[in-house]
Structure formats: structure tokens, C-alpha cells
Structure 1
Amino acid sequence: MTVVSGQGGKLPAAFLLEMHGCRILLDLGEGPQPGVKPDLSQVGPVDAICLSHAHIDHVGSLDLAAQLGNPPVYATGRTFSQISGAVLPPERRVQLPVSGKAEIAGLPVTVGRNGHAPGGIWVHFACCGGVLYMGDWSAESLLLPFDEPPAAGCLITDASYGDFDEALSSQVGAIADFAAPGAVLCVPAGGRGPEMMLALSRLGLKAIACPVVRREMQSLASDEDGIISADSRAGIAELLRSMPPADEWSADKVIVATEANAETGLAAQLLLRRNEGFRFLFSGHVPAQTPAWDMLQRGEARWLRWNVHPRWQDTMDLVTRTRAGKVVAAFVRLEEMPLLEQWLGERLCRTRVIPLPVGRDQLLKAAE
């Protein structure tokens, strides 16, 4: 396993797995800081690209696939639906289920829902002692299920929050209190928008979704692929029926709008009307030099986290359950995880190249 990008900070995801003669790139992202892309100069051709979900820091560098030989790309149907055909033509798409058994470049895998994004999955390779790539994940989502993964000797896990350990349940109330008089709650496309709408409605807040989030809710309400539960589908459908029309936006309304940092979408449009009294709340990672960053630096907006990544305890629980002996803590700086670093000890991988055990069939092949 080679970390191409994603170790040592909030960096684009790109991890190269070499197993049984196959070379598979796990994710190919950009950002979150605009323009930051993985260096593929030393990677060479790969047999497949596997995408965990459709957020830009995991798929935003698909335009570089020619450097890898334009291999087939594996992902769920929901993930593919969020990727332009101009970036990834249909003939290179190979659909994976959201949970269950499948194959990637001829290698058997198990996949499961990651609780982070609609259609998002973790991927488990049983070979070489077991390799588990989590992508981004959360065990706390109020809408998106999280499937427990199998044991694995090598674990590449989202550790974005480092030692942070506050529960989502307490965060929802704080955000609802701020939003009650009226606020623009900025969210990423394909992310926490529908979940936020559902959670706020349960607290009695009648929020309005922007057109992008509304379409996401409509898609989830008609989901037949097991992305969310039947109860959640019914809850989203009922919320859509009771939601007021989205034809007028005023500062006294609770508005859930894309994009996450007010760089595009309805959030960017309402930012231009800020003198009408619109209040802005951001709840995820805020890259420098974005509208959200500028507003927060000037004290003109509020930031309250809405968990979409694992807390410290969640990460420790995952390592314990999977019995991983090698752990790559991705998307976090070491100084943000001193407690986790101490707890992991020798299991924490600090180098970019992680050797994997050689299976018996590989030894026999090498001896031929």
C-alpha cells in the first residue's frame, strides 16, 4: 500500500494498492484547498480506480486519469450519478453495490455503506491479511447507515477530526438554536443537507431546502438501492410534502443551501444579499481563501461543527473491532491527534509505503 496523497493533513485522497499483480488506486481527489492535486508522476498505469464517494477531495482529480492509463472506474451508482460524463464517460464506469460482495479488477471485495455520503462505501480486500479502505465515514449519521466492516490487518481510515470527541447529538441542538431566528446553513452537495433538514424538522424548525438539496431529498425518498432505510425514506418524503415552496428567500427563514463554503450555489447568491440581514453558518472544513473563510475571519459568520467524520472514540472502536495491526490515519496532521497517536502506538503507519503480507498463493506463484 502506497500513500500517494492523504497522509499528514487535510489533503486529497489517493492510495495505491498493489495486490496479486493488480494495481488499484483508491480515490483520486482534489483539495479541499482549491487546486491541490495528488502527484501522480511516480504512480504509472493502474488496473482500476475505485471511488469511495463523490466529494471533490475524493474524485476531483479524475481529469488526471490519462496519466494512469485511463483505467476502468469502480463506484456505486449514486456516486456515478454525481460525476459528469465529460469527466468520466459511461464506457469506463463499473458499478458496485452499496453493500455486499463484488469484484474490482478481478479481486474479490466486500463493500459497505460508510455513513458519510449517499452512495458512499468502504472497501475491504480479503487478500494479504485483509486491507480495509474506509474513505470518509461516520457512525453517527441520523440518516445514512453505517455497515460494520470485516477484520483487516491493514486499515486506512479517515481520522479528519483527530482527538475531537463531541457527539453529533449535542451539535444538532446548538445549530438549531443559532438557526431559529433565520439563517443560511451552508452544506456540500451530496452531503449533510438532507440529514440536516430531517434533524431540524424533528426539533420543530421548518427549514427550506435550496433546489440542489431538495433534489437530493427527492432522490433519497425514491431510493430502491438500500442507501437509506425505509423509515428514513418515509421521513424524507413526508418532509418534502410539508416543505414550503422554495420561490422566495428571506433572512427570517432557515435555509439549507449549497455550497459548503458559499463559493457557489444559492449560498453564494444569498451572500451577495447579506445586507438584507442574512446570517450564515458553516459546519464543515473551511479552506483558506474561500468566502466562508473570509467571513469567519471578519467575524461575520458562525462556525459550528456537524459531525460527518469519525470522532476519536469511533476511530478507536473501529481499530479494535477490525483488529488492525497497521493503521494509516488519513486526512489529519499528527499534532491534531496526540491522544490517538499514543493509543495506536506501533500500529500507526508513519511512512508512505506500507508492506503487506504475502499470501500463500503469491509465494507459490513466485516459486514457479
Structure 2
Amino acid sequence: MRLRIHGGVGEKGRTCIGVEHGSTRLLLDVGVDTSSPRGPAYYPAIAPDMLVATDAIIVTHAHEDHVGALGWCLANGFSGRILMTAEAAAETAATLAAYATPEECALARNGPVEIIEPGRHFEIGPLAVRTGRSGHVVGGVWCHLSAGGRSLGYCGDVVPASPVFAMDPMPPCDLFLVDASYGEDRIPAVERGRAVARWLQAHPQGAVLPTPLTGRSIELIALIETPIAIHPSMREPLAQQIAATDWLAPGMAEILASRLARAELWQEGMALPAAALLCHDGMGLSGPSQAALTQASAAGHPVLLTGHLPKGSPAATMLASGQAQWLRFPTHPTLPENAALAATSGAAVILAHSCDIATARALAPVIARLNPEIRPGDVIEV
């Protein structure tokens, strides 16, 4: 089995991992890099002839850095199988509408999707594939591939100790890719959550909280005990996520449904509410957060940012100018969690995805057997 890096290792964004065994080729995720202008660096580093020869794409979840290039792959020659969970499939169109061209959206909309279920095994040629719930979002999965007596574990994005989402244990493997989005962060999730809650309690006039539509939004709803507001376009997607109880921690659906039912509605043209206003996306690049951030900037209204901020995004610009504050909200593993996942995997080789090489080098002394020098274009034998 061979691994070919097309993005997301040695860099943040455009996650795309090629797996080859014999004549079978597949891609694990096909993301875009929102820190780059649309062009070669925005999309995975994979040539059209390789896309033509690719048998399948497995999408772990419907965030832009994992699915945003799906239509681009179809436009550049891919015609194989597309596999993802039903929940990820339902959310992909909204993600592509924000981060893909109209042509790419149309191609992805018409592309046939095969639904996978966590825990159910399937095959792509000689490759045996297992998936499990990732703890990151409703419909998010990790992947385990095996062939010829060798195996690969790919986290996608995972949260081992999410209070909202369930994560299934990952099987042992020979090569393991950890989700290193948070780099050297060692602060426990519960401590991060308390800091966000304290900040909101200290701002009773309300605040704008840009957040992805899937995943972090309902985790924030679970955390926030002060008044909440949402954009009307978010109500139905959030309700659908909450109704997907198989993906949630026990008892969480009832708490989330009750808080969503009490949420105030805000939309463009209205005064910003005296509440924690959740609006997508988390970077101010698309959706109602664009208008909410513009209005907050003009009014001097508080803004709390809680996730990744691509260079040049409206949210990053407001943070740099002092018009917003940033507190990380835990939706990826901490360094101790990644070290534990890597040790449990038993893998002889560990790679870090969703971080740059400098960050990977900083992780290597803590995560045994981590190779920090891998980057797009590299090929690794499993």
C-alpha cells in the first residue's frame, strides 16, 4: 500500500490523501485551502490524469477543507465512486455553495453518492475499508484501510472527548495520520469551554459568534447558558443535526433541542441582539456572518472568534485590528490526546495532517514515531 500526499500534510487546509494498492487508487477527502486565492494552491495538488485514474473518493465530513474540491475533481476528470455518510451528503451542497464555483457545485450536485454507515465494512477493489464516528460533527467519520497485510488509519477530524458527539475507538494500524489542527495545544477541552462561557457572561450586551454550520454550532449551543440567537437559515440544519441522535452523546439531544427552541432569530437589517449570535461561517467568508461582522464592526459590538482564521478573512482582519477577540473552542484533539491516539494505534509511522511542517516538528518530541518532514507531493510506503 502506498500513500501519496496531495494536500493537508505539511500545510493547513486542502486535506487530500491518496491511497494506492496495485491498480486501485482512492482519495481520502478533497478539501480546499481558504487561506489561498482560488487557483492551484486552493485545490489539492493532483493532476487531471491522476484524477482520471482514481477509483473513489471517501469524504470524512462536509467541512470545506475536506469536501470543498469535490466539484473541482469532477471538472478535472474524476468519474469514480463518491462515498460519504448520509449526513455529510446532505450538508455538502451548502458547503460547496460557499467555497466552490457554480460549475463545480452543479457537477457535485449531479454526481452519484454512495452512502456509508459507520461500523459497516466495505471494499474498494482490494482495499478493505472500515469507518467509525469521529466525535467532530454529525456524519463525520474516521477511516481505516487495509490490504496486503498492511493498514492505514486516517483520523479526518476527530474529538476524542467531545461532550456532544460520540467517537468510536480506532483500530490498530501500521501508518496513522493524526488530526494536528491544534498543534501543541495542551489545554483540556473542559477548560477551553469554561473560558468561552465566562467571556459570554461578561458580555451581557451580546456578541457575534461566527461558527461553522455543522459541528461547532451545536457544541456551542450545548455550552452557552446565556441567551442565544441564530440566523433563520440555521434553524432547520441545526434541528436536523440534533435529530441525528446516533451521532450524539447520550442525553444530549434533549438539551440541544430545548435550547434551540428558545433561540432568538436574527437576520440582516435587524439590530444585533443582546445574545450570543451564532452565524455561519466561522471566518466571515460566506453566509450571514459576513453581514453580522460588518454590522458589529460599525457598531462596536463585541465579537468572539473561536476557530481557525484563514489569512485575509474578515474575521482575521477584525482580530488583527482589535475589533474581535479569540478564544479557541475545542473541536480537534489536544497534543496529549493525539499522543494517546498515536500510541494506541501501534503504528510504526505517524503523520500529522492539518498543520504546517514547523508545527509537526514541534509535535515530534511528544508523539513518538512522528515524521514531521512530509509535504504535498511526497509518497510513502505503508
| TM-aligned CA distance change 1:287 to 1:93, over 3 Å | same
TM superposition shift of 1:251: 4.5
Residue matched to 2:192 = 171
Q: Which moved more, 1:227-236 or 1:298-307?
A: 227-236
Distance (whole Å) between structure 2 residues aligned to residue 51 and residue 73 of structure 1: 8
TM superposition shift of 1:167: 1.3
Work out whether residues 350 and 369 of structure 2, in 8 Å CA contact, stay in contact via their aligned partners in 1.
no
Residue matched to 1:57 = 65
Distance (whole Å) between structure 2 residues aligned to residue 249 and residue 107 of structure 1: 54
Which residue, 34, 43, 47 being the options, matches 1:37?
43
Residue matched to 1:7 = 9
| TM-aligned CA distance change 1:347 to 1:237, over 3 Å | closer
Residue matched to 2:222 = 198
The count of corresponding residues between Structure 1 and Structure 2 is 352
Distance (whole Å) between structure 1 residues aligned to residue 109 and residue 198 of structure 2: 45
Distance (whole Å) between structure 1 residues aligned to residue 134 and residue 151 of structure 2: 18
CA offsets 1:310-330 (integer angstroms, 9 cap, x no match): 111111101111101111111
CA offsets 1:226-267 (integer angstroms, 9 cap, x no match): 222451222222223333455755352221111101223222
Residue matched to 2:340 = 317
Amino acid at match of 1:175: V
Amino acid at match of 1:38: P
Residue matched to 2:311 = 288
Unaligned ranges ≥5, structure 1: 357-368
Q: Where do residues 301-312 of structure 1 align in structure 2 (5 Å cutoff)?
A: 301-312=324-335
Residue matched to 1:81 = 90
Share of identical aligned residues, percent? 24
Structure 1's consecutive aligned runs of 4 or more residues displaced over 6 angstroms after TM superposition are none
| TM-aligned CA distance change 1:311 to 1:72, over 3 Å | same
Amino acid at match of 2:184: D
CA offsets 1:123-179 (integer angstroms, 9 cap, x no match): 111324211111111113221111111000011221111211111211122212222
Distance (whole Å) between structure 2 residues aligned to residue 25 and residue 64 of structure 1: 14
Alignment RMSD (CA, Å):
2.1
TM superposition shift of 1:10: 0.7
Amino acid at match of 2:112: R
Tell whether 2:320 aligns with 1:297. Answer: yes
TM-score (norm 1): 0.89
- Secondary structure at 1:86's aligned position in 2? helix
Q: Which moved more, 1:173-182 or 1:118-127?
A: 173-182
Q: Where do residues 91-110 of structure 1 align in structure 2 (5 Å cutoff)?
A: 92-105=112-125, 107-110=127-130
- Secondary structure at 1:16's aligned position in 2? strand
CA offsets 1:34-72 (integer angstroms, 9 cap, x no match): 421112126341000110111111111112223343211
- Secondary structure at 2:223's aligned position in 1? helix
Distance (whole Å) between structure 2 residues aligned to residue 288 and residue 119 of structure 1: 28
Distance (whole Å) between structure 2 residues aligned to residue 230 and residue 318 of structure 1: 23
| TM-aligned CA distance change 1:195 to 1:316, over 3 Å | same
| TM-aligned CA distance change 1:234 to 1:102, over 3 Å | farther
Work out whether residues 18 and 24 of structure 1, in 8 Å CA contact, stay in contact via their aligned partners in 2.
yes
Distance (whole Å) between structure 1 residues aligned to residue 193 and residue 65 of structure 2: 25
Which residue, 272, 276, 279 being the options, matches 1:254?
276
- Secondary structure at 1:336's aligned position in 2? helix
| TM-aligned CA distance change 1:229 to 1:104, over 3 Å | farther
Amino acid at match of 1:69: F
Which residue, 195, 210, 235 being the options, matches 1:186?
210
Residue matched to 1:131 = 152
Distance (whole Å) between structure 2 residues aligned to residue 115 and residue 159 of structure 1: 15
Q: Which moved more, 1:97-106 or 1:12-21?
A: 97-106
Residue matched to 1:22 = 24
- Secondary structure at 1:354's aligned position in 2? strand
Distance (whole Å) between structure 2 residues aligned to residue 292 and residue 98 of structure 1: 34
| TM-aligned CA distance change 1:141 to 1:72, over 3 Å | same
- Secondary structure at 1:156's aligned position in 2? strand
Residue matched to 2:291 = 269
Amino acid at match of 2:320: Q
TM-score (norm 2): 0.86
TM superposition shift of 1:104: 3.6
